[in-house]
């Protein structure tokens, strides 16, 4: 597969903006910076951040065992997803495939970028491959999937990566809660593979907005051309670096969340109006109830906010419960028993 042929012509010929911090790189101290129209009075934040987030990338690259050149960071994975659309999809011409019910931003970004969305409701490899044509540039596989919480079968993913004629984007926002291995391990085998991850879930840093994109150096270099110069701010870079250096805390929290999730599955099955608790490879549970609208409002009255997913395809009467702390989950269970 020749990746170059999938990239939009205007992006291929685009000359990226060159920021002051890109043009002059030097780690020497006592330099007088008069190049970026910054305020010279030191607040700790008066300088623009590193546009390539080198320290954060070095930490992530080490953890994920990839090279820094295979990594792009964004203002949340939502920004990364948008960059992918803009590199590969010609508005009004190209199409992408998503597999509903899934993460809603694929559809929103397709609409924002004026790109056709092909939806395949029963994710079956043959059907997905049949749905593509020469204008289909991206296939989104969310694994573990939001809101269903299940992972896509690894053999099926591999077949899709090998046979799909565009780019396969595997969204691994919830991978740290999963029993499956990350596809970042296999990046070097597949030139058309992009893996997206985030610090918003397992790392407990949704507030800083940091998403990561792993792919071939070729794809990363093109995404880099169009990213806003300082898309990851200084505070985010500092906080992310600290978190990445404290894997014990993160791993401990992941273990607690998984254990709480498994206990919640057992407890929820005891509730009379719960029809089904779907298996989960993530930090949330999709739960079918007798009447999602009624149960949602009852929970709100008890100050417990869950997500009503009943309007999504194949999710009739389904609520999505994020796994909380032990105390929060206990409160959820005690409340459900009262309803």
Ligand X SMILES: Cc1ncc(COP(=O)(O)O)c(C=O)c1O
Instruction: Return residues touching ligand X (CB under 6 A).
Output: 76-78, 103, 142, 146, 171, 173, 198, 200, 206, 211
Comparing C-alpha atoms, which of 75, 77, 280, 63 is closest to residue 170?
A: 77
Q: In the bound complex, what is the minimum distance in angstroms from residue 167's beta carbon to ligand X?
A: 16
End-to-end CA distance of the chain: 56
- Pick between residue 250 and residue 335 the one whose CB is nearest to ligand X: 250
- Pick between residue 7 and residue 243 the one whose CB is nearest to ligand X: 243
Which residue of this chain has its Cβ atom nearest to ligand X in the complex? 76
Three-state secondary-structure class, residue 182? coil
**What's the CA gap between 3 and 216, in Å, rounded?**
10
Q: In the bound complex, what is the minimum distance in angstroms from residue 149's beta carbon to ligand X?
A: 11
Asked if 212 and 73 count as a contact pair (C-beta separation under 8 A), the reply is yes
Q: In the bound complex, what is the minimum distance in angstroms from residue 92's beta carbon to ligand X?
A: 26
- Pick between residue 98 and residue 268 the one whose CB is nearest to ligand X: 98
DSSP 261-296: HHHHHHHHTTSTTEEEE---SSSEEEEEES-HHHHH
Q: In the bound complex, what is the minimum distance in angstroms from residue 79's beta carbon to ligand X?
A: 7
Q: In the bound complex, what is the minimum distance in angstroms from residue 169's beta carbon to ligand X?
A: 10
- Pick between residue 206 and residue 305 the one whose CB is nearest to ligand X: 206
- Pick between residue 288 and residue 320 the one whose CB is nearest to ligand X: 320
CA-only gyration radius of the chain, Å: 22
**What's the CA gap between 293 and 152, in Å, rounded?**
29
């Amino acid at each position: 597969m020749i990746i170059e042929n999938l990239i939009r012509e205007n992006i291929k010929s685009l000359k990226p903006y060159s920021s002051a911090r890109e043009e002059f790189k030097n780690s020497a101290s006592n330099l007088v910076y008069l190049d970026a129209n910054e305020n010279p009075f030191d607040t700790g934040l008066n300088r623009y951040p590193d546009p390539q987030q080198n320290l954060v990338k070095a930490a992530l690259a080490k953890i994920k065992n990839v090279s820094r050149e295979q990594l792009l960071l964004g203002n949340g994975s939502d920004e990364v997803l948008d960059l992918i659309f803009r590199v590969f999809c010609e508005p009004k011409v190209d199409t992408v495939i998503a597999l509903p019910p899934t993460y809603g931003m694929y559809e929103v970004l397709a609409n924002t970028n004026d790109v056709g969305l092909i939806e395949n409701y029963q994710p079956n490899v043959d059907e997905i491959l049949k749905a593509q044509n020469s204008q289909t540039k991206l296939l989104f596989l969310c694994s573990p999937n939001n809101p269903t919480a299940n992972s896509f079968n690894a053999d099926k993913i591999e077949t899709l990566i090998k046979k799909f004629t565009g780019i396969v984007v595997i969204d691994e926002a919830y991978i740290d809660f999963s029993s499956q291995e990350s596809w970042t391990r296999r990046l070097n085998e597949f030139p058309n593979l992009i893996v997206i991850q985030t610090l918003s879930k397992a790392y407990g840093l949704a507030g800083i907005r940091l998403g990561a994109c792993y792919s071939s150096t070729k794809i990363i270099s093109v995404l880099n051309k169009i990213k806003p110069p300082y898309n990851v701010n200084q505070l985010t870079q500092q906080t992310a670096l600290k978190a990445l250096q404290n894997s014990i805390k993160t791993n401990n929290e992941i273990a607690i969340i998984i254990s709480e999730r498994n206990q919640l599955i057992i407890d929820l099955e005891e509730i009379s109006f719960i029809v089904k608790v779907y298996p989960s490879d993530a930090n949330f549970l999709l739960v079918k109830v007798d009447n999602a609208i009624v149960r949602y409002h009852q929970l709100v009255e008890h100050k417990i906010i869950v997500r009503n997913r009943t309007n999504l395809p194949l999710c009739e009467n389904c609520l999505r419960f994020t796994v909380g702390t032990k105390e929060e989950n206990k409160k959820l269970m005690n409340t459900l028993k009262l309803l």
